[in-house]
Amino acid sequence: MPGSMARQRATETARIVAVTHDGRGIAEAPGKKVFVAGALQGEEVRFMRRKRHRSYDDAELLEVLSASPSRVQPRCEVYGVCGGCSLQHVTAAEQRHIKEQSLRDNLSRIGRTEPQQWLPPLFDSSADGSWRYRRRARLAVKDVAAKGRVLVGFRERHAPYVTNMLRCEVLAEPVDHLIGALSDLIGRLGIRSRLPQVEVAVADNCTELVFRVLDPPGMADRQAMIAFAKQHGLQIALQSGGLDSVEPLYPIPPETLYYDLPGYGLRMEFAATDFVQVNAAVNRLMIGRALELLRPEPGDSVLDLYCGIGNFSLPVAGRAARVLGIEGDHRLVSRARQNAKRNRIANCEFAVADLAAADGSEAWMARTWGKLLLDPARAGAIELLMHVERMSPERIVYVSCHPGTLARDSGELVHRFGYKFEAAGIIDMFPHTAHVESIAVFSKK
C-alpha cells in the first residue's frame, strides 16, 4: 500500500480542544488543524483522516474514548446521514453556547466589535420545544430504482443524495410522521420520476403541501393525491413552474394559511411558498425582543427593511405613529398590505424596492426615520447601510441569519458611522442545526 494511502487510513487518538459552530471538533494534533465531525470539546476520541487540505484535514469520528457531559443520544434514526441537523448529539444548552461563541468570534474577528451587553439567548423553553418546530421546509424527492422506492426528505450531509428516511423529528406535526406515507404516495404516481420536491407549510389552521411537478399529473394521479389529502387532513397544491404557477388541487377553494400573534392581537396570513419564520414559538419571542430593543413610542416614525409579510411591521405599528415596510418581493408586499387591512391597521404602509440596489436617491430614504429595523437575508445589508447617514435613525435593530455578515455590517455601523453597539444575542430559531440567528441593537452616540 502506498505510504500516502496508509497515512490517510491510519487511526489516530487526540483530545478535542474546541468545537466549530457546525459541530466539528478541533483535534489537538501536530501540524495543521484536524476537524472531527461529531466530536465535542474536552473529549478523547479516535478518528481517521478522510480529506486532506492545504491548511486542515477533515476526519471521521470512529470512537469516543472519553465523552463530554454535553453529549446526548441523538433522537433521529438517520442522524449523521441526513444533512438537516448537525447538533443532535449535543445538549440544547451546549448548542446555544456553541452558537453564541460563533457570534462572539465573528463580531470580534470580522467586525472588530463587541456589544456593551450580551443578551440572554432566545429559545422555546417548553418541555419539547426543540423538536417538531419547523413549520416551513422543502423536501427533496427522488425515485431510486436500486432501493425500490421513492425517497422523500432532506439531502444527505456529505452527498447530494436524498436521505432514506421515514420521519423527521424537527418537522412540525403532522408532517413529522408523514415522510414514509409521502414516499408511498409518490411511488404510486405515474409522474413519480417527474416530481422533484415538496414544499411544506404548517399554519395554525391547516397544513399545505405544494408538489413541484415537471409534467402535469393525470386523473389517476390527481385522485390519489386528493385521497391522501383527505386521509391526513391536508391541503395540496401543484406547482408546474414559477411561484405564479401554484394552483390548488384540494380543497377548492383552499383555506388561507395563517399564524396568530396573540400578544399583539394580530393574525398573519401567508401563502405556502411565502417566506415566514420557521419556528412559531421563537418567532413570537423574537418579535417581543425586537420591540423591547427598538423602543417604539407613540410619536415615532419607524422604517422596517426586508419586511416580508409584515411580521415585525404590524406589531411595531401598534406602538408607533407610522411604519413603512420595504421588501423586494412584490408578492410579500401584497400579502403585507392585505395583513394590515385585515388587522385594521391604518398607520402602516408597504412598498416594493430592491434594497441591494438602493443608491440613496429613493424618496423613502429622504424622510426622517427615528428608528430602523432590518431583517436581511444571509448576504446582509452592507449596500443599504452605506446610506444610513441619509436615513439618520437614532436606533437600529438588526435581526440576522448569518453571524459573518452581521459582524461585517456591525463593524461599518460602529467604525464608519459612529453608532454605539449596545447589545447582541443569539436566537435559537433552528435547534439541532448549525444555523445561527441573532439580534443586535445600535444607537447614535
- The grid cell for 390 is 441619509
Q: How many other C-beta atoms can be found within 10 angstroms of the C-beta atom of residue 161? A: 15
| Mean pLDDT of the region 71-98 | 95
φ and ψ of 315, to 5 deg: -60, -40
The phi, psi pair for 99, rounded to 5°, reads -70, -40
pLDDT tens track for 10-52: 899 999 999 998 889 999 888 889 999 899 999 999 999 988 9
**Is the pLDDT confidence value at 429 over 80?**
yes
pLDDT at position 214, please?
A: 98
CA 114 to chain centre: 24
> Which pLDDT score is estimated for 368?
87
Q: What is the pLDDT of residue 31?
A: 85
Looking at every residue in the chain, the average pLDDT score rounds to 95
Residue 9's pLDDT is: 67
- Segment 192-204 shows an average pLDDT of 98
Phi, psi of 223 (to 5 degrees): -65, -40
Residue 116 grid coordinates: 456593551
How many other C-beta atoms are found inside a 10 Å radius of the C-beta of residue 129?
16
Alpha-carbon distance 377 to 147, whole Å?
Answer: 37
User: Is residue 95 within 8 Å of residue 87, measured between CB atoms?
Assistant: yes
- As a whole number of angstroms, the distance between CA 178 and CA 180 comes to 6
Residue 208: band (very low, low, confident or very high) from pLDDT cuts 50, 70, 90: very high
What is the structure's pLDDT at 1?
Answer: 42
Query: Does residue 307 have an active-site annotation?
Result: no
CA atoms within 13 A on the CB side of 52: 9
Could you give the strand order of the β-sheet that contains 235-239, starting from the edge strand earlier in sequence?
149-153, 136-144, 197-202, 207-212, 235-239, 247-250
Q: What percent of the chain stands above pLDDT 70?
A: 98
Give me the mean pLDDT over the 377-396 stretch. Answer: 95
Can you give the pLDDT at residue 10? 87
Taking 50 as the threshold, does the pLDDT of residue 107 lie above it? yes
* β-strand pairing of 371-374 with 117-118: unpaired
Across-strand partners of 443? 395, 420
- Contact 279/134 with Cβ under 8 angstroms? yes
CB proximity list for 127: less than 8 A, separation 6 or greater:
none
Mean pLDDT to the nearest integer, 409-433: 98
Task: Compute the average pLDDT of residues 159-173.
Answer: 96
> What pLDDT does residue 108 have?
98
The answer, yes or no, to whether the previous bond of 251 is cis (omega within 30 of 0) is yes
Count Cα neighbours of 286 within 13 Å in the Cβ-side half-sphere: 28
Q: What is the mean pLDDT of residues 212-219?
A: 98
Cell readout for 434 is: 448549525
- Place 326 in a pLDDT band, splitting at 50, 70 and 90: very high
- Structural domains in the chain, sorted by start: 3-66 (2.40.50.140), 97-125+279-444 (3.40.50.150), 136-202+207-254 (2.40.50.1070)
Least reliable range by pLDDT among 49-53, 114-118, 279-283, 394-398: 49-53
Residue 157: per-residue pLDDT: 86
- Contact yes or no for 196/214 (Cβ under 8 A): yes
Q: What is the pLDDT of residue 381?
A: 97
pLDDT at residue 5, rounded to an integer? 43
CA dist list (Å): 420 to 120, 279, 388, 397: 19, 30, 14, 12
Per the DSSP assignment, residues forming a β-bridge with 438 are: 400, 426
Of the pLDDT bands very low, low, confident and very high (cuts 50, 70, 90), residue 4 is: very low
Q: How much is the pLDDT for 181? A: 98
Catalytic residue among 76, 82, 307, 401: 401
Q: How far apart are CA 219 and CA 127, in angstroms?
A: 45
Residue pair 200/175 in contact (Cβ under 8 Å)? The answer is yes
